[in-house]
Amino acid sequence: MKNAHIRVLIILAVLTLLGIVGTQVFWLNRAIEQQDQVFNYNVQVALRNVVESLCEANGKDFPTVNPVEQVSGNYFIVRTNDRIDLANLEYLISAEIKKRSISQDFEYGVYDCANDKMVYAENVNLMAENDQDIMPVLKNDEYYFGVYFPEKSRNLFAGFDLWKFTTAITLVVTIFFGFALFVILRQKRLSEVQKDFINNVSHELKTPLATLSLASETLKERSGDKENKYVQVIQKEVGRLQKNVEDILHSSLLESHLKVEKAPVQIMEFLQDIVTEVKEEYSGEMIEWSLSGTADRSILSNKKFLENCVRNLVDNSVKYGGKHISIHVDQSSKSTTISVSDNGQGIPKKHQKKIFKKFYRVPESSHQHNQKGFGLGLHIVASEIKKLGGKISVDSTEGVGSTFKITLPNG
């Protein structure tokens, strides 16, 4: 994957996660605020009703000024300006709070404003039954009482189980994204190191191979018939190594931002030249060759890439037992199809979708030849055809043979 694509992917993923987290935090905060407002309103209404009940019991008028004041988020004070009946206060507060569907525990205290001290306090658990004790009647009339909800914040947040679940999911997704990003960047770095290593090794091998090739030619000129056999072995192996090195370098080159230069190619003339060359090259293999079809017009392509593709397919056909190899051309107004067919051992169905992958080789079986290689040939063909704007496909049956089709645009 290109560096620019990775950067775009990372930026989009980060923005998406930030958007999800920001939206979730925003709505969670809004939901808590609304719940808090509803709670405060219900408590104030409940406490106003308590004051109203106390006033009725004492035969007093309800205060003209709102008697309930919220001092803090969870603390309310209620001014009565009259004697407070402690025997009924807890009952009235509990009854009104329960009526408002508030199930939180609370603490309340009665204060003597004249002496500035608390004269009575109690902690009420709404989930338990409370025994009502008869409290002494207070003599001082200047009183107000306060109600405190110690667990208000925790209980408000406890009601958001769905939000907790989605937050946990978001956290898991964030951790997974971080791990996936780490793996992607690590794999990319390893891939770059591997690519640089392969390129360096391939370049380093080219010089000694060229030296060996030159030395073998010199030995061939100066040696007798007996020694020539060994020189030929050396030349053959050097040639094989050179081809492998060239394949590796060419595969790395195809993965770069290579601009392919195109020129008109006369297909029939081009294929006739290839058939003439392979006939000479494989003259000792007892292979039947055929070229059929028509192509009246030239196509715009890269001759070197196209030749490499067809030669690779022909070499594979010979390598895997093809004794009758045919090349057929079909041309329409928009595209040209080159088919390379053989009667070799064929490719198992389950491997046909994988043979164009880099380094992939069909596993050996009892009826297959043990062919050497890096699994780059068909990958190079597929990559070059893609660079040319075409596509490649395969139709193969085990024991019958294979047909590779290259389809290229004419223009």
User: Is pLDDT of 282 > 90?
Assistant: no
Q: Among residues 208, 229, 254, which one ends one of the domains?
A: 254
Please indicate, yes or no, if residue 166 is contained in any of the structural domains.
Answer: no
**20 and 133 belong to one structural domain:** yes
Residue 113 in any domain: the answer is yes
Any domain includes 228: yes
For the whole model, what pTM was predicted?
0.51
pLDDT tier at 406 (50, 70, 90 boundaries)?
Answer: very high
CA–CA distances in Å: residue 218 to residues 207, 226, 231, 234, 238: 17, 15, 10, 12, 14
Q: Is 49 a domain residue?
A: yes
**Are 295 and 398 members of one domain?**
yes
Q: Is residue 218 part of a domain?
A: yes
What is the structure's pLDDT at 122? 60
User: Which amino acid does the sequence have at 215?
Assistant: A
Q: Which residues contact 394 (CB under 8 A, 6 or more apart)?
A: 347, 352, 355, 402, 403, 404, 405
Quick one: average pLDDT of 20-49?
85
Residues 203, 322, single domain; the answer is no
Per the prediction, the chain carries an average pLDDT of 80
22 and 146 assigned to the same domain: yes
Mean of the pLDDT values across residues 12-31? 81
Q: What residues contact residue 152 under an 8 Å CB cut-off, 6+ apart?
A: 39, 73, 74, 104
> Structure tokens of 308?
């490499």
Q: Is pLDDT above 70 for 280? A: yes
One domain for residues 363 and 384: yes
- Integer Cα distance of 212 and 208 in angstroms: 6
HEC-encoded secondary structure of 221-289: HHCCHHHHHHHHHHHHHHHHHHHHHHHHHHHHHHCCCCCCCCEEECHHHHHHHHHHHHHHHCCCCCCEE
Instruction: Tell me the CATH number at 294.
Output: 3.30.565.10
Mean of pLDDT values over 83-107: 82
Q: Which residues on adjacent β-strands are paired with residue 13?
A: none
The residues with which 189 forms a beta bridge, in sequence order, are none
Q: pLDDT tens-digit profile of 237-272?
A: 787 777 777 766 666 666 665 677 889 999 999 999
For residue range 128-142, what is the model confidence (pLDDT) as tens digits?
444 433 333 334 444
203 lies in the same domain as 146: no
List residues bridging with 396 in a β-sheet. Answer: 402
Alpha helix ranges (H) inside 59-121? 86-99
- The answer to the question of residue 175 being in a domain is no
Average pLDDT for residues 267-291, to the nearest whole number?
91
Domain match, 147 and 248 both: no
Beta carbons of 294 and 328 less than 8 angstroms apart? no
- Look at residue 3 in the predicted model and tell me its pLDDT: 65
The count of structural domains within the chain is: 3
Q: What is the pLDDT of residue 341?
A: 95
Question: Among residues 215, 235, 254, which one ends one of the domains?
Answer: 254
State how far the Cα of 83 lies from the Cα of 144, in Å rounded to an integer. 9
pLDDT for 186: 83
| Minimum mean pLDDT range among 33-47, 158-172, 345-359 | 158-172
Query: Same structural domain for residues 381 and 332?
Result: yes
Same domain, 225 and 279: no
Q: Checking phi first, is residue 401 left (phi over 0); if not, alpha (psi -120 to 50) or beta?
A: left
Instruction: Identify the pLDDT of residue 256.
Output: 62
Under the banding of pLDDT at 50, 70 and 90, the label for residue 185 is: confident
- 74, burial (CB in 10 Å: exposed 0-12, middle 13-18, buried 19+): buried
Q: Given this model, what pLDDT does residue 293 score?
A: 92
Q: Which residue has the higher pLDDT, 381 or 6?
A: 381
Confidence of residue 31 (pLDDT cuts 50, 70, 90): confident
Q: Is residue 167 part of a domain?
A: no
User: What confidence tier does 190 reach under pLDDT thresholds 50, 70, 90?
Assistant: confident
Q: Are residues 275 and 235 in the same domain?
A: no
Structure tokens at 10: 């990372």
Same domain, 225 and 364: no
Could you tell me if residue 171 is inside a domain?
no
* Same domain assignment for residues 108 and 236: no
pLDDT at 240: 74
pLDDT of the residue at 182: 81
What is the predicted pLDDT for the residue at 71? Answer: 85
Please give the residue range of the domain that contains residue 66.
3-158
| CATH number of the domain encompassing residue 233 | 1.10.287.130
3-state secondary structure of 216: helix
Tokens coding 284: 């000792």
What's the pLDDT tens digit per position in 216-245?
878 777 777 667 777 777 877 787 777 777
pLDDT of residue 261: 85
